[in-house]
Chain A
Amino acid sequence: MSKPHISAIVNGDPVEFLADPGMTLLDALRDELSLTGSKEGCGSGDCGACSVIVDGRLVCSCLMLAAEAEGRRVDTIEGLAQGGRLHPLQQKFLEHAALQCGFCTPGLLMAAKALLDANPDPTETEARYWLAGNLCRCTGYDKVIRAVMDAAAELRQVKV
């Protein structure tokens, strides 16, 4: 079998690569496109470290075949900061010390981005349930949730 040739839009830019049919999107991002910001913590959908946004939906890139990305728009952590400026979520994670080791952080940020895109004014409980697929073993989630809520408030300010 030949390797499928995949074209997709990653972080706004067209990319092309060859992928083994069994290759996951996560492996393609990390190994073919050198976008190692998305992490593999489990490879089975349980930890969320590999979270990316595909056509506007949050998914685990470890549970998606690279071949499925054909023609799709994929957003990864590498595209969150724009024009050399951190996204408000990134800034708030830093201000609130919402990361310790930082391994879960790229996935959490992408999940939080998807949350605020879908629900600009979440309650704490909504944020906790939305982010339940992102394991963080270091922080106990307290500062993570505070950072997300604070970023949400700031983004709402910017909008009005």
Chain B
Amino acid sequence: MSDVLDGPGVQPDLKVVGTRPIRPDGADKVTGRAAFGADFNMPGQLVGKILRSPHAHAKIVSIDTRKARALPGVKAVVTGADFPNLASEMHEGGEAASNLRDLAMNVIARDKALYDGHAVAAVAATSSAIADEALRLITVTYEVLPHVIDVEAAMSPDAPVLHAHLFTEGLEVRPTSASNVARRNQITRGDLAEGFAAADVIVEGRYTTQAVHQGYIEPHACVAAWVEDGQCDVWSSSQGQFMVRTYCAKILGLEISDIRVTPAEIGGGFGGKTTVYLEPLALALSRQSGHPVKMVMTREEVFRATGPTSGAVILVKLGAKVDGTMTAAEVELKYQAGAFPGSPVGAGSMTALACYDIPNFLITGWDVVTNSPKVAAYRAPGAPIAAFGVESAVDDLARKLGMDPLALRERNGVRNGVKAAYGPTFQNIGYLETLAAIKDCPQYSLPLGPNQGRGVAAGFWFNVGGESTAAVHVNEDGSVVVVTGNPDIGGSRAAMAMMAAETLGVPMQRVRPRIADTASIGFSMLTGGSRTTFATGMAVVQAAEKVVADLKRRAALLWEVPADKVEWRNGAAVCLDPAKADPKPMTLEILAGQSARTGGPISAQVSLNAQGAGPGFGVHVCDVEIDPETGHVTVLRYTAAQDVGKAIHPSYVEGQVQGGVAQGVGWALNEEYIFDSDGRMENAGFLDYRVPVASDLPMIDTILVEVANPRHPFGAKGVGEVPIVPPLAAVANAIRSAIGVRMADLPLSPPKIRAVMDARAS
């Protein structure tokens, strides 16, 4: 089932927006022609490979690369010593801020290896086999240090300290000794003690999640060439060619204009490709060798060395009146950051209570470094973890109050005019409509069989805007090219072409979207935070509007009428001047053909910093069946409703929702990083890191609730992140309903469920 429910503010007369055309890059992708990161080669390229730390925490005493350099076919060897030491400096990246010093040290270790898989050296050779052999010939002398991965263990005063310079920020008193706690943040309102005193019913819970990986199917890959005059070319698969350019320039100490980054097609990112791992190494190897260098990660490297998201501990306490009115909430979030500060606990804190209007609350977040790969953004970074705790507790509260879980959420749900827990006042949100959509959906009232259970959960994401550039060019035959600077991860080209076509009044097939390299279009922040359709889409529409204004001017010139006597209708200029005897409308085609006589090529570019992305809400219902003897969970049915603003291409919006749900279900049931006692990842492959396969899932029904965002020309809100927020708790709540016991430690794998069944029986 896939429903689209038109809500307030949606424009009724759209011709292209809201339809489901075939995506412009579709044929390339179904025929194997589309070139992804590893599909590109440069003449004379070498193979680059990385030597990684086998220790979770170790001092690097020395690195001897002499034998490797002496091996015939080896053209370059680099270590941390080949890179400048950067000062601590924050860089706002689009989805999350990064400290450039840490970023550089994550790309290649300097005096310490901070996790199993941390890069310590890299080589470039004429073949893959020679590069492998060269890695074996590098001798690294380590002094192995005690390590810590568990977040609460890392917070303890006697934990091994990762960074001697790290002093907890955000405390009333600055600590006098270094620790693994990078920061504490707090958000509070009202009087917590009073709020709990006013409550008739209180629920409390402690919840844990494990680190999980974004799990994009395409491993990181790039080719980099350093030309002798210092100009560089990078071809890579990332969520932002401009991000790659900036980070490479900073890490290698280069001028930004000396680097051109061409975006390859990207085989999934989900936030995990919002940073660099390979590109600076490939450039350094290319500089040393004088050859282009290609680097492609193995799947094992992807797991061991690129961003998972945090494992966490979540403490939740909720208080409510007997009628369900929530009076107080206390939430404490402890997130693993991995080897360097910067877990998404800030966003976790801001989103934790965003669905609720509660007068008294305190949210405390802890950002904690651990000997595991530095976390990277993962779809609605931080929010699913917080929501797992809060939505599980809300479910328990509903049970204790004897209320329907949707009714409890509705009673306390945020609506327009309510001040959000994280600050601003909500406008044009569709949370209540989304709750209602689930209440009315067929699944919610289907009867359940034995060992079956049903759970609901809600979720929230801000969605972001930010800086984007778009250019619209009208060709001499009236066809149109739209150029943007945002990699297309999930069909955004289609949305760009549709919005341009709608604005110009031409069929979508006449508009071809292209994604340009960093030298061919103005700056755009990366594709992330669900910003592209909103922010880059806004730039496209504004550029198309500029073109329309120009076309009207040109038509007026040809008709010799004042500009205000021309209107643009259905892709053509119409003359409103009655004095002119029946001038036929001038189509885009005609005007394009005459462009030389009216001022030259027709084209416009817009750069903007979009604000007002419009937050999104999702409500999910999940039905499960448990095998009580084995603890195996089957997801029987799933419906996800989401406030999407206006769905530009509903199929791709549904696809975003379904993909987010699938990832969330995997997170809930089976996915986790498993470390051995030495801190080495034990399941760095898809056989034992268990993402959902096709037979694990049912069809995922979607309901797109359209409550338009007035800040966007067609009402769009970001849609990609919200859907991963509710599933963790939706699944856990369904299991709670099936077995009668609250399971609070993800993943909810068969052994854990069987253990609970046994405990319940005895």
Partner-B contacts on A (CB < 8 A): 20, 22, 30, 35-44, 46-47, 49, 76-78, 80-81, 86, 90, 93-97, 99-106, 109, 124-125, 127-129, 131-146
- When A94-B23, A101-B490 are in contact, do A37 and B33 touch as well, CB less than 8 Å? yes
What's the dominant secondary structure at chain A's contact region?
loop
State how many angstroms separate the Cβ of B38 from the closest Cβ of chain A. Answer: 7
Chain B minimum-CB-distance residue to A96: B651
- Which interface residue of B36, B663, B695 has the most chain A CB atoms within 10 A? B695
Chain B minimum-CB-distance residue to A109: B30
Query: Which range holds the interface residue count of chain B?
Result: 35 or more
Decide if A44 touches B31 in the complex (CB within 8 Å). no
Decide if A86 touches B219 in the complex (CB within 8 Å). no
Decide if A143 touches B651 in the complex (CB within 8 Å). yes
Contact for B217 among A30, A41, A81, CB less than 8 A: A41
Decide if B685 touches A44 in the complex (CB within 8 Å). yes
Proximity bits, B73-101, A CB within 8 Å = 1, else 0:
00000000000000000000000000000
Chain B minimum-CB-distance residue to A108: B694
Please indicate the chain A residues that have their CB under 8 angstroms from the CB of B219 in the complex.
40-41
State how many angstroms separate the Cβ of B60 from the closest Cβ of chain A. Answer: 29
Decide if A138 touches B31 in the complex (CB within 8 Å). no
With A94-B30, A97-B649, A102-B267 given, name 4 new contacts (CB 8 A): A36-B35, A37-B33, A103-B265, A138-B659
Complex A-B: 20 CB contacts under 8 Å: A36-B39, A37-B32, A41-B217, A46-B685, A49-B217, A77-B31, A94-B26, A97-B491, A97-B655, A101-B489, A103-B36, A103-B217, A103-B267, A105-B29, A128-B695, A131-B695, A133-B693, A138-B655, A141-B692, A142-B654
- Which interface residue of B298, B651, B660, B693 has the most chain A CB atoms within 10 A? B693
**Number of interchain pairs (Cβ within 8 Å):** 185
State how many angstroms separate the Cβ of A41 from the closest Cβ of chain B. Answer: 4
B299 at the interface (CB under 8 A from A): yes
Please indicate the chain B residues that have their CB under 8 angstroms from the CB of A22 in the complex.
129
- When A128-B695, A142-B699 are in contact, do A136 and B26 touch as well, CB less than 8 Å? no
Chain A minimum-CB-distance residue to B660: A140
Decide if B217 touches A47 in the complex (CB within 8 Å). yes
Please indicate the chain B residues that have their CB under 8 angstroms from the CB of A76 in the complex.
32
Please indicate the chain A residues that have their CB under 8 angstroms from the CB of B686 in the complex.
41-42, 44, 46-47, 135
Decide if B218 touches A142 in the complex (CB within 8 Å). no
Q: How far is the CA of A108 from the CA of B106 in the complex (A)?
A: 35
- When A46-B687, A86-B31 are in contact, do A137 and B270 touch as well, CB less than 8 Å? yes
State how many angstroms separate the Cβ of A63 from the closest Cβ of chain B. Answer: 12
Chain A minimum-CB-distance residue to B488: A101
Chain B minimum-CB-distance residue to A129: B695
Decide if B32 touches A141 in the complex (CB within 8 Å). no
Decide if B490 touches A144 in the complex (CB within 8 Å). no
- When A46-B685, A103-B268, A136-B217 are in contact, do A145 and B32 touch as well, CB less than 8 Å? no
B661 at the interface (CB under 8 A from A): yes
Proximity bits, B207-232, A CB within 8 Å = 1, else 0:
00000001111110000000000000
Q: How far is the CA of A37 from the CA of B27 in the complex (A)?
A: 12
Decide if B267 touches A93 in the complex (CB within 8 Å). no
Q: How far is the CA of A142 from the CA of B215 in the complex (A)?
A: 18
Chain B minimum-CB-distance residue to A143: B655
- Which interface residue of B20, B268, B656 has the most chain A CB atoms within 10 A? B268
B171 at the interface (CB under 8 A from A): no
Q: How far is the CA of A127 from the CA of B698 in the complex (A)?
A: 12
B34 at the interface (CB under 8 A from A): yes
Q: How far is the CA of A93 from the CA of B280 in the complex (A)?
A: 37
B22 at the interface (CB under 8 A from A): yes
B266 at the interface (CB under 8 A from A): yes
Decide if A134 touches B299 in the complex (CB within 8 Å). no
- When A101-B266, A140-B661, A142-B700 are in contact, do A90 and B30 touch as well, CB less than 8 Å? yes
